[in-house]
Amino acid sequence: MKSSIALNIGTAAMVFGLLSGCGQTGPLYMPTPPAKPQPVPAQPPAMPPVSSSVAQ
């Protein structure tokens, strides 16, 4: 008798403990889709200026 009461209490504690961990906290909402990145125009890479004071 005593063991069945303890088993029921233990089972109930486990069920409530598992159920309390379920779900997301905070408001539920559908996230907005991310904005599409704008295409970058293709440009050739810039060449660095050539210095005339190169040590030879």
Q: Which two tokens stand for residue 39?
A: 């295409």
Residue 24's pLDDT is: 61
pLDDT tens for each residue of 14-47: 988 887 766 666 666 777 888 888 777 777 667 7
* pTM exceeds 0.75, yes or no: no
Tokens encoding 24 = 């997301």
Choose among 9, 11, 29: nearest CA to 19: 11
State how far Cα 8 lies from the chain centre: 38
The predicted structure's pLDDT at residue 56? 55
Residue 11's pLDDT band, with cuts at 50, 70 and 90, is very high
Phi and psi at residue 7, in whole multiples of 5°?
A: -65, -40
> What is the C-alpha separation between 41 and 45, in angstroms, rounded?
12
Q: How far apart are CA 18 and CA 9, in angstroms?
A: 14
